[in-house]
């Protein structure tokens, strides 16, 4: 998530939104009267500045944009931890630098143009789609902004845009760059490679105590015992309070009768039909049937195959044509119908088998019905039980006492870390709403009656933390087996990497892969047509990157993506695409490159302006703006 936030906030799309566009009504929700103290600006560049209000609005707008992009709400605490405040500060500084440059250049905006821009703002349109003064006043009142402040900001946006457009409009990416990109992306290679297995260096000798201790001391944090917590919880769902014994026989009987269709398998019939092009042909076929001919033979004479005439074994409701259904379910087994008018023409229907309706007797489904009724009743009184539990706690009852009164079960987890593991490494895998419950348990203090957690609207979890075991460093003796295994793996990897590197050096000095393959008892592999961005199943992305990092006849090593050794390789052929031209790059990618080039120019311009107009930051005002 951190990478996503940083990537999203570092693009010029975000910079333009924050540095150029000051007006955005969808996310403003704080009063400008609180933060619009012009004597306490967050930053300034020359005579241009950013107020606490502008900083706070840009900050909130960025949080909302990132939350929408990531599909989860980014809290202010997360935003501060990710450094979002400094990112917004840098972006607003870019806007202030543009303002100062515009002031020095004497750029301005006519009143008529400003009026047109305001009238074009969709936030101020009335029901007829045109500018509405009442809507204008209403929107500004809602966000605590005066009309003159809005007009000033709108003018500022337009003037900044003049500078940006002057720097980027009319810019184009040379066709030669597009062609080189097409050559780069379209290149394919042939690579010879050889597995260098771990067996070449195994078994590795066990480390002595001094070696193991030194290795452990360098990585002690990795073996530290995490914080463990002891907590108890009571789960309240309909299944926890359902009482099947409280359901009467009369209730079961009524439910059985009401739900009779659920326990009934309807009558089904195996149906064939012959559809004719006209009624005369159908009547002739019916005469043949009446004369004793077989239905299948009549169908064959009509040019129909067995698959053409078979409808299947169906219940009445599954037959799409009502006329066919009526006819089929009025026949006895091995009978055919008269000619009927079907949906697709004259039809003769034949029933070859009848499966009678089957009704499960009450005795077979009584317990299921009783349980379902009990759960329905429990769901109805769930909130009453919740309130009774809360009343018991408010009256001084402990969690265990309140649970016992309501015949609920309390479960105690003796020790668990934030990843749901016990001290022995096993996972506690049956916690209700486990992720949310663990998060809340590790944010709570001991002995506090916490608010219950909702189970998706169908229940509650009450919980209390009973003890906290702080994280601590473990001694080597506590984790000796794990440390030994880790050391052996690391040492094996080191020795294998050295062996593979030695083989690579021999390749560079003129040895062949075939020689090394024979020496270590492995078979050389050849892969042709390997593309630069391929996620090859054998080599993996890292392996493909290594293959494309060297020229033709270049060699190297990389880790086997299967995790069981190294690969030694040599690139034997490099092929450029024959048809690579500037037009080979799709339009959307060409547009992306043009945008990236424009971003680079804007970055360079802002960097130059930073040297021309030093930026000063008032951190106290920034923190005050974030505190509201």
SS (H, E, C) 556-621: EEEECCCCCEEEEEEEEEEECCCCCCHHHCCHHHHHHHHHHHHHHHHHHHHHHHHHHCCEEECHHH
Q: Is the dihedral of CA 129, 131, 137, 139 positive or negative?
A: positive
213-254 pLDDT tens trace: 999 999 999 999 999 999 999 999 999 999 999 999 999 999
**Given its phi and psi angles, is residue 238 left (phi above 0), alpha (psi -120 to 50 degrees) or beta?**
alpha
Radius of gyration of the chain measured on its C-alpha atoms: 38
| CA 445 from centre of chain | 32
Provide the whole-model pTM. Answer: 0.53
Q: What's the DSSP call for residue 43?
A: E
Residue 500 has what pLDDT?
A: 93
Residues in the chain with pLDDT values less than 50: 1-36, 38
Pair type for strands 310-315 and 264-265? unpaired
- Single out the residue of 301, 296, 233, 193 nearest to residue 544, CA to CA: 193
**CA angle at 5 for the pair 3 and 6, rounded to the nearest 5°:** 65
List phi, psi (to 5°) of 57.
-65, -45
Question: What is the distance between the alpha carbons of residues 94 and 88, in angstroms, rounded to a whole number?
Answer: 10
**Contact predicate 544/535, CB 8 Å:** yes
Q: How far apart are the first and last CA of the chain?
A: 26
């Amino acid at each position: 998530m951190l990478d996503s936030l940083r990537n999203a906030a570092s693009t010029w799309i975000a910079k333009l939104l924050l540095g150029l566009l000051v007006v955005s009504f969808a996310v403003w929700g704080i009063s400008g009267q609180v933060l619009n103290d012009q004597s306490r600006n967050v930053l300034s560049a020359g005579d241009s500045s950013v107020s606490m209000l502008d900083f706070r609005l840009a900050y909130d707008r960025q949080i909302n944009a990132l939350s929408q992009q990531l599909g989860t709400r980014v809290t202010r605490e997360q935003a501060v931890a990710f450094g979002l405040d400094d990112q917004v500060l840098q972006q607003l500084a870019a806007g202030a630098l543009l303002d100062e440059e515009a002031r020095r250049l004497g750029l301005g905006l006519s009143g008529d143009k400003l009026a047109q821009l305001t009238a074009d703002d969709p936030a101020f349109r009335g029901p007829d789609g045109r500018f509405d003064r009442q809507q204008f006043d209403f929107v500004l009142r809602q966000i605590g902004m005066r009309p003159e402040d809005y007009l000033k900001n709108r003018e500022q946006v337009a003037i900044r845009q003049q500078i940006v457009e002057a720097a980027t409009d009319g810019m184009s990416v040379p066709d030669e760059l597009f062609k080189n990109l097409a050559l780069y992306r379209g290149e394919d290679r042939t690579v010879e490679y050889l597995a260098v297995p771990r067996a070449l260096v195994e078994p590795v000798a066990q480390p002595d105590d001094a070696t193991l201790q030194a290795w452990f001391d360098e990585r002690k944090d990795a073996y530290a015992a995490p914080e463990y917590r002891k907590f108890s919880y009571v789960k309240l769902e309909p299944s926890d309070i359902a009482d099947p014994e409280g359901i009467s026989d009369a209730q079961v009987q009524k439910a059985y009768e009401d739900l009779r269709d659920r326990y009934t398998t309807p009558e089904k019939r195996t149906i064939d039909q012959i559809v004719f092009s006209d009624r005369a042909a159908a009547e002739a076929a019916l005469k043949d049937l009446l004369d004793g001919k077989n239905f299948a033979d009549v169908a064959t004479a009509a040019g129909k195959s067995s698959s053409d005439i078979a409808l299947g074994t169906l219940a009445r409701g599954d037959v799409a044509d009502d006329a066919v259904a009526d006819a089929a379910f009025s026949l006895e087994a091995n009978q055919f119908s008269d000619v009927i008018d079907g949906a697709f023409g004259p039809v003769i229907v034949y029933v070859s088998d009848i499966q009678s309706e089957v009704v499960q007797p009450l005795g077979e489904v009584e317990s299921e019905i009783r349980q379902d009724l009990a759960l329905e009743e429990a769901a109805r009184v769930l909130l009453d039980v919740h309130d009774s539990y809360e009343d018991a706690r408010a009256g001084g009852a402990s969690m265990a006492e309140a649970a016992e009164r309501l015949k609920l079960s309390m479960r105690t987890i003796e020790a668990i870390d934030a990843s749901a593991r016990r001290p022995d490494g096993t996972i506690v895998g049956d916690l209700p709403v486990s992720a949310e419950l663990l998060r809340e348990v590790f944010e709570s203090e001991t002995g506090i009656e916490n608010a219950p957690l909702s189970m998706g609207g169908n229940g509650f979890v009450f919980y209390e933390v009973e003890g906290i075991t702080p994280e601590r460093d473990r001694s080597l003796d506590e984790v000796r087996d794990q440390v030994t295994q880790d050391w052996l793996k690391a040492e094996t990897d080191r020795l294998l990497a050295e062996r593979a590197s030695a083989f690579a050096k021999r390749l560079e000095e003129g040895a062949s892969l075939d020689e090394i393959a024979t020496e270590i008892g492995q078979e050389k592999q050849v892969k042709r047509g390997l593309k630069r961005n391929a996620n090859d199943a054998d080599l993996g992305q890292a392996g493909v990157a290594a293959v494309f990092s060297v020229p033709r006849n270049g060699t190297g090593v990389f880790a086997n993506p299967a995790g069981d050794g190294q690969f030694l390789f040599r690139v034997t052929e490099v092929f450029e695409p024959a048809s690579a031209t500037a037009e080979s790059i799709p339009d959307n990618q060409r547009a992306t490159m043009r945008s990236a080039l424009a971003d680079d120019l804007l970055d360079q311009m802002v960097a130059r302006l930073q040297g021309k107009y030093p930026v000063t930051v008032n951190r106290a005002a920034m923190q005050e703006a974030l505190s509201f």
